[in-house]
Amino acid sequence: MNILILGSGGRESAFAWKIAQSDLCSQLFIAPGNGGTGAFGKNVNLNPNNFEAVKALVLKENIEMVVVGPEEPLVNGIHDFFLADAALAQIHVIGPKKEGAILEGSKDFSKQFMVRHGIPAPVSQSFTTETLQQGLDYLNSHILPIVLKADGLAAGKGVVICETVAEAQEELKLMLGGKFGNAGSLVVIEEYLTGIELSVFVLTDGQNYLILPEAKDYKKIGQGDSGLNTGGMGSVSPVPFADEKFLNEVEHSIIIPTIEGLKKDGIDYTGFIFFGLFKVGDNPLIIEYNCRMGDPETESVIPRIENDLVELFQAVADKKLMDYQLNVSEKTAATVMIVAGGYPGDYEKGKAITGIDNIRKSTAFHAGTSLEGGVVKTNGGRVIAITSLQDTQFEALQSATADAARIYFDGKYFREDIGFDLI
Ligand code: AMP
Ligand code: GLY
C-alpha cells in the first residue's frame, strides 16, 4: 500500500526509515519531510495542517494509510476530517480523533481525566481570567517551586516553573493576559515534582495496547542538564532505572486506567499515547499525555522494535492489536541531537552540513535539514539526530557521541554527556 507520513522532524525520519523497510509499503511519501527523508520516499512540500492539501495528495497518489507525526494536525481534527469525507473515510489515519487528541490539546482536560480515573498525578488546580483573583490567592499558600501550564498547545513553551510566589503571580497574569494567545486562556497550577523523568509509549487500537520501549529524553541545552529547556537534546532506550517492577507499576497504575478511562468516557482512541512520567521514590506519576510519539525519543524507540511497523499500524486500524506481540531488541539505542548554534534561542539556517557519510556505527535521522542543489543544509534548531543501536549501553552512548562529532556545520553543537548519567 502507499503510505504518507505527515511531519518533518527526526521523529518522522525514524518512522520513514522503519516504514520503508516494510514489505507492506509500496510507495512512501513524507510531507513535508526534510533533507534526509528523500532517501526513504518522496518528499511532498505541503503543510500538514492544510487538510485540503493533504486530501489532494492522498487522492492523487492513492495513499491508503496516513501516519501523523506531530500533535497539531491531530488536535485540529485531521482524523475526523478524513472520516467525514466520503472519498477519504476508508483511509487509515494513524493517530487519534479530536476527542482523543484533547488529552494533549487541553492540559485541564487531561488533569480532570487523571483525577476522574484515579491516575497518580501531581495535585493541580485550573484558573481563568474570571477566577484570576482565586488563582493569585491559591498561589499565596502554594509550596515552592510552582509549575504553571498553559492549557492549550503552546509550541512546547507553555510550561513555566516559578521559584517564588511573586514570580508565579506575575506569570499567571501574563498567561491569562494572552502571553500564549488562546492556549493560555486557562492555566493549570501544579505541584512541582522532584524525581527523575522518563517517557513511556503505547500503541492502541482503542481496545488493546502494546507497550513500546520506554525512553529517557534530555531536555536541557547544556551538559549536566543545565541551561534552557529545548525540544530534546538526546534520548536513550531502555532506561536502566525503569526496571521490571517499576514498569509493571506504570502499566497497572497509569496505562490500564488510561485505556479503561478512555473507554468509560466513550472516547475511541487509536494511535500512540505518550505518557510523560516522573519516578518519585519508587512510584510513577504522570505529568502529561501526548497524542503522538516523542521527539527525540522515537529515534531511540523505533530502532529497538523488531516488528513490521506497518503491520502493527494495520492492526490498529483493523482493531486487531490483540493478535500481536511486540518484539523488542535487548540492545540499547542512544540518540544525540546535533543542534544549530544559539538554539533554543535565535539561530541561523542555511549552513552546509558535511561529514554525514563519515558516521560509522549510527544512523543519521535528519530533523531540521533541507536539500538544496545536492547540498544538505541546516533548516531548523534541531538539525540531525544521531542514533546508535549497540549491545551495551556504554557502546551505544559512545558510538552515538563519537558519530555526532564526525558531522560538521558552522555553529554546530551537541551534548557529549547524553545517557552517561545512567551508567
Ligand atoms: P512539557 O512542556 O509539558 O513537556 O513540560 C516541560 C518540562 O517541565 C517537563 O519535561 C518537566 O521537566 C517539567 N515539568 C512539567 N511538569 C512538572 C512538574 N509537575 N514538576 C516538575 N517538573 C515539571
Ligand atoms: N521529547 C518530548 C516531546 O516530544 O514532547
Q: Give the binding-site residues of ligand 1, using a 6 Å CB cut-off.
A: 122, 147, 156, 159, 190-193, 197, 219, 276, 287-288
How many Cβ atoms sit within 10 Å of the Cβ of residue 73?
25
Kindly state the DSSP code that residue 198 receives in the 8-state scheme: E
What kind of architecture, by CATH, is found in domain 2-87?
Answer: 3-Layer(aba) Sandwich (3.40)
Residue type, 141: S
Whether 183 shows a pLDDT value over 90: the answer reads: no
Angle between helices 10-19 and 309-317 (to 10 degrees): 100
* Mean pLDDT score across all residues of the chain: 97
What's the chain's length in residues?
A: 423
The pLDDT, as a whole number, for residue 150 is: 94
**Model confidence over 352-391: pLDDT tens digits?**
999 999 999 999 999 999 999 999 999 999 999 999 999 9
**Model confidence over 53-104: pLDDT tens digits?**
999 999 999 999 999 999 999 999 999 999 999 999 999 999 999 999 999 9
Q: 235, 216 in Cβ contact below 8 A?
A: yes
- Measured distance CA(45)–CA(378) in Å, rounded: 17
- Measured distance CA(10)–CA(382) in Å, rounded: 8
Burial of 140 (0-12, 13-18, 19+ CB in 10 A): exposed
Band the pLDDT of 322: cuts 50, 70, 90.
Answer: very high
Q: Tell me if 2-87 shares its fold with 123-191.
A: no
Average pLDDT over residues 224-231: 94
Report whether residue 294 contacts ligand 2, using a CB cutoff of 6 Å. yes
What kind of architecture, by CATH, is found in domain 123-191?
Answer: 2-Layer Sandwich (3.30)
Band the pLDDT of 237: cuts 50, 70, 90.
Answer: very high
- Measured distance CA(334)–CA(14) in Å, rounded: 13
Which of 209, 190, 183 has the alpha carbon at shortest distance from 144? 190
**Model confidence over 272-300: pLDDT tens digits?**
999 999 999 999 999 999 999 999 999 99
Q: 375, 349 in Cβ contact below 8 A?
A: no
The pLDDT, as a whole number, for residue 166 is: 97
Domain 196-422: what homologous superfamily? ATP-grasp fold, B domain (3.30.470.20)
* Phi and psi angles of residue 354, each rounded to the nearest 5 degrees, phi first: -125, 165
Q: Which ligand is nearest to the CA of 162?
A: 1
- Measured distance CA(205)–CA(169) in Å, rounded: 42
Question: Domain segments of the chain: what residues?
Answer: 2-87, 123-191, 196-422
Which of 220, 254, 295, 313 has the alpha carbon at shortest distance from 103? 254
Whether 265 shows a pLDDT value over 80: the answer reads: yes
How many Cβ atoms sit within 10 Å of the Cβ of residue 98?
17
Band the pLDDT of 157: cuts 50, 70, 90.
Answer: confident
Q: Best of 161, 180, 286 to mutate for ligand 1, by most ligand atoms within 8 A of CB?
A: 161
Report whether residue 295 contacts ligand 2, using a CB cutoff of 6 Å. yes
The pLDDT, as a whole number, for residue 156 is: 77
Which of 344, 346, 331 has the alpha carbon at shortest distance from 391? 331
Q: Considering only CA atoms, which residue is closest to atom 3 of ligand 2?
A: 294
Residue type, 390: Q
Looking at the chain, the whole-number percentage of residues with pLDDT higher than 90 is 97
